[in-house]
């Protein structure tokens, strides 16, 4: 069947190119078309097969390689081991030791009091390498300095010298504190109500019932540091009523809790106690 088709094609080409130039390329291509198509088919199939097996060849080369040495020992190639990061230790801080200042020899360079007649003239002892000072010292003393270290301060301005805080002056023993100086006022040991009840119970008003009416006075006294009272004064209009009020307060038994200033010190302070009685 194949040969029949080829013969028919050949005869058709002979009739088609009769009385024509058969050397022309079209005549040769038509006669050799089957052979060219067959050759192209084989080339295409070969390329397709080569492309298909290429991935398998590459994967085979990438797999672990095993080899044997001449002595029959199997050698297995593995991935290299990466060492861990090395920790760097911080540098050791070296503490500077304080250098003690050198000792300095001194000789007494103070001037004596001038007198009309010198009896014992002062003789300065010579000490080699000594400097002037208040006394003779052959062994030497450590030189002092008035320099005070200044603590570091934040900011860009000039550094301010550090001035150590000074403790407040001690309050004199006889000083009586002003109310503005007090942090807590003096108070009776049992409370102000207890003190008021003692005054009312001990006050002798038998001599003041004849005149009748209301009598008033204000007693001012000093509460001492030990809790006692002193310096009692009354400023009422009736002298007898004032004296009885002073007598009553003097005879009350019990101590006071003294006042304290804002520094927490016990101080002397004034205390005013008004008294008012109605005699009818």
Q: Does the structure show a pLDDT above 50 at 142?
A: yes
- Per-residue pLDDT tens for 81-106? 667 777 777 777 777 777 777 777 77
- Angle ∠(141,145,150) on CA atoms, nearest 5: 145
Label residue 218 by pLDDT band (50, 70, 90). very high
Q: Does the structure show a pLDDT above 90 at 8?
A: no
Q: What CA–CA distance (Å, rounded) separates 87 from 107?
A: 61
pTM over 0.85: no
Q: What CA–CA distance (Å, rounded) separates 35 from 29?
A: 10
Question: Residue 234 to residues 60, 230, 238, 252: CA-CA distances in angstroms?
Answer: 123, 13, 10, 16
């Amino acid at each position: 069947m194949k040969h029949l088709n080829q013969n028919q094609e050949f005869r058709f080409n002979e009739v088609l190119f009769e009385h024509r130039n058969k050397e022309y390329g079209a005549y040769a291509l038509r006669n050799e078309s089957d052979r060219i198509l067959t050759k192209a088919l084989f080339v295409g199939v070969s390329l397709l097969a080569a492309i298909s097996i290429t991935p398998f060849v590459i994967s085979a080369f990438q797999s672990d390689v095993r080899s044997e040495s001449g002595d029959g020992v199997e050698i297995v190639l593995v991935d290299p081991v990466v060492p861990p990061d090395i920790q760097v230790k911080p540098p050791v801080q070296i503490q500077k030791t304080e250098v003690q200042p050198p000792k300095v020899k001194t000789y007494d360079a103070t001037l004596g009091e001038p007198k009309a007649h010198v009896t014992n003239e002062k003789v300065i002892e010579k000490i080699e390498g000594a400097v002037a000072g208040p006394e003779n010292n052959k062994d030497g003393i450590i030189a002092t300095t008035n320099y005070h270290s200044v603590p570091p301060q934040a900011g860009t301005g000039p550094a301010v010298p550090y001035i150590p805080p000074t403790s407040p002056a001690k309050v004199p023993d006889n000083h009586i504190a002003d109310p503005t100086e007090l942090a807590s006022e003096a108070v009776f040991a049992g409370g102000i109500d207890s003190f008021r009840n003692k005054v009312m119970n001990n006050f002798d008003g038998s001599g003041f019932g004849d005149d009748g009416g209301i009598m008033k006075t204000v007693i001012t006294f000093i509460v001492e540091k030990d809790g006692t009272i002193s310096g009692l004064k009354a400023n009422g209009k009736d002298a007898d009523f004032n004296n009885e009020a002073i007598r009553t307060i003097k005879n009350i038994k019990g101590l006071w809790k003294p006042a304290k200033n804002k520094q927490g010190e016990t101080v002397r302070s004034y205390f005013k106690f008004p008294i008012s009685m109605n005699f009818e």
